[in-house]
């Protein structure tokens, strides 16, 4: 008989921290004692992993949500799991009910964890290959309605890398980065064998292999000056010169 894991968040293992981040990003802690996750239907199998973590046999439900704040067609997967002990623990960690209405912060143990931030990015952030004027580059971004949680993310990025990215106000608070800096943070967050949303883990692996123009120049010191790449040259042109296998990834 499968017994519910009511103490799932009592010991903050890397897996528990990841799910804390996933819930903080795109989940909901309901004060009457349940956890609800709503994600795009194409990622519904990821909710099976959360159910397994909670020792639950529940399966995500297919729902259609009409809300201007939801990207896409509103085709969603929803999973609700009851557990007063788990919700009480999440609240004590800073993941509170109605967090979209509250400028919440999480405890230090979570705010200093790459597993927690990877969970938030998987649920409510972006990892992708951007393109501008033929140049390909990795992009990492995350947004939340509350400023304080984004300040915690900004502080974490600064602590591990020295990079400074202050949250910018849009319709929400957002931290975004690209190029070498995005690749470095992605490489730190999406380490080998980590738990993560499959499609973002795959994209993260591509981002980790990306090389900037300066790096390509440094690797090809023996090139004649006429073939050296200069800032402003397209990335596809750079790859053609250096015959870099990275082009095959896209």
Question: What CATH number does the domain containing 58 carry?
Answer: 3.10.28.10
Task: Give CA separation, 55 vs 59, 119, 142, 166, in Å.
Answer: 12, 19, 30, 39
Lowest mean pLDDT among 112-116, 117-121, 168-172, 220-224: 220-224
| Residue 135 and residue 157 in one domain | yes
> Quick one: pLDDT band at residue 64, thresholds 50, 70, 90?
confident
Show which of 71, 102, 133 is a domain's final residue: 102
For 180-234, how does the pLDDT look when each residue is reduced to its tens digit (9 = 90+)? Answer: 999 999 999 999 999 999 999 999 999 999 987 767 767 666 444 444 555 555 5
In this predicted structure, the answer to whether residue 146 has a pLDDT above a threshold of 60 is yes
Q: Is residue 4 part of a domain?
A: no
φ, ψ at 52 (rounded to 5°): -65, -40
- Give whichever of 38-52, 64-78, 221-235 has the largest mean pLDDT: 38-52
- Its domain, for residue 19, covers 14-102
Rounded to two decimals, the pTM is 0.83
Q: Is residue 85 part of a domain?
A: yes
Number of domains in the chain: 3
Q: Is residue 70 part of a domain?
A: yes
Task: Give CA separation, 101 vs 28, 104, 144, 172, in Å.
Answer: 12, 9, 11, 12
| Residue 130 and residue 75 in one domain | no
Show which of 102, 117, 137 is a domain's final residue: 102
> Quick one: pLDDT band at residue 32, thresholds 50, 70, 90?
confident
Q: Is residue 23 part of a domain?
A: yes
């Amino acid at each position: 008989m499968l017994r519910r894991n009511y103490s799932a968040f009592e010991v903050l293992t890397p897996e528990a921290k990841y799910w804390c981040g996933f819930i903080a990003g795109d989940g909901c802690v309901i004060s009457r004692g349940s956890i609800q996750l709503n994600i795009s239907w194409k990622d519904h199998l990821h909710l099976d992993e959360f159910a397994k973590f909670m020792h639950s046999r529940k399966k995500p439900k297919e729902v259609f949500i009409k809300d201007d704040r939801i990207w896409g067609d509103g085709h969603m997967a929803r999973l609700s799991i009851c557990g007063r002990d788990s919700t009480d623990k999440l609240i004590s960690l800073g993941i509170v009910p109605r967090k979209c209405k509250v400028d919440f912060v999480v405890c230090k143990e979570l705010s200093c964890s790459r597993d927690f931030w990877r969970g938030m990015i998987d649920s409510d952030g972006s990892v992708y290959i951007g393109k501008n004027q033929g140049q390909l580059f990795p992009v990492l971004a995350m947004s939340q309605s509350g400023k304080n949680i984004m300040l915690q993310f900004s502080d974490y990025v600064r602590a591990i890398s020295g990079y400074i990215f202050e949250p910018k106000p849009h319709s929400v608070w957002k931290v975004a980065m690209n190029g070498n800096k995005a690749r470095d943070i992605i490489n730190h967050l999406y380490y080998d064998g980590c738990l993560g949303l499959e499609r973002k883990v795959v994209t993260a692996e591509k981002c980790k292999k990306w090389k900037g123009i300066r790096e390509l120049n440094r690797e090809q010191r023996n090139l004649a000056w006429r073939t050296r790449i200069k800032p402003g040259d397209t990335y596809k042109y750079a790859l053609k010169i250096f015959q870099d296998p990275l082009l095959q990834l896209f």
